[in-house]
Amino acid sequence: MATQPETIEFLLNKLHSPQRFSTKRMFGEYALYADGKVVGFVCDDLLYVKILPASVELENVCEKGPPYPGAKLYYIVEEVHLSTIENLTDILLAIGDSIPAKKKKSPRKK
């Protein structure tokens, strides 16, 4: 089941800094970006957050599971958690800060 656009709108409204977050549709699902870096996915209307030291606060709150077959495990943030985890925005921004920036590709040599 593909994620509904309403779910993305709801999620972005729940985040306290919506200007720092964006999504990109991919194969019927969505990638969630914080300051231009992928911090999670929205698949089947559920938020999947990367498991990194910056997201350790979610360990005792969320279950783990893959967002799609063959993927690594992510924290599954259900709709109820969007209201109960008060610092979710900060966690997502910290994940983005902990991910190194992409290196610019050097031009190909002919």
For residue 61, tell me if it sits in a domain: yes
* Domain span at 80: 5-98
The pLDDT tens digits of the residues spanning 5-56 come to: 888 888 888 887 778 899 999 887 999 999 989 999 999 989 999 999 999 9
CATH code: domain of residue 60 = 3.30.1460
Residue 51 has what pLDDT?
Answer: 94
For residue 103, the model assigns a pLDDT of 75
CB 39 within 8 A of CB 95: yes
Give the total number of structural domains in the chain: 1
**Residue 55: inside a domain:** yes
Q: What is the mean pLDDT of residues 92-109?
A: 83
Q: Say how far apart CA 54 and CA 92 lie, in whole Å.
A: 8
Reply yes or no on whether the pLDDT at 65 is more than 90.
Answer: yes
Looking at the domain assignment, is residue 107 inside a domain?
no
DSSP, residue by residue, 44-70 = TTEEEE--SGGGGGGTTTSEEE-SSTT
DSSP annotation of 36:
T
Q: Which run of H or E residues covers position 110? A: none
Domain contains 85: yes
Task: Tell me the residue length of the chain.
Answer: 110
Q: Is residue 33 part of a domain?
A: yes
Q: What pLDDT does 75 receive?
A: 95
In angstroms, the CA 59 to CA 43 distance is 20
Does residue 110 lie within any of the structural domains?
Answer: no
The reported pLDDT for the residue numbered 52 is: 93
Whether residue 108 is contained in a domain is answered as no
The per-residue pLDDT of the chain, averaged, comes to 88
Residue 19 maps to a domain: yes
From residue 16, how far is each of 34, 50, 67 by CA, in Å?
12, 19, 24
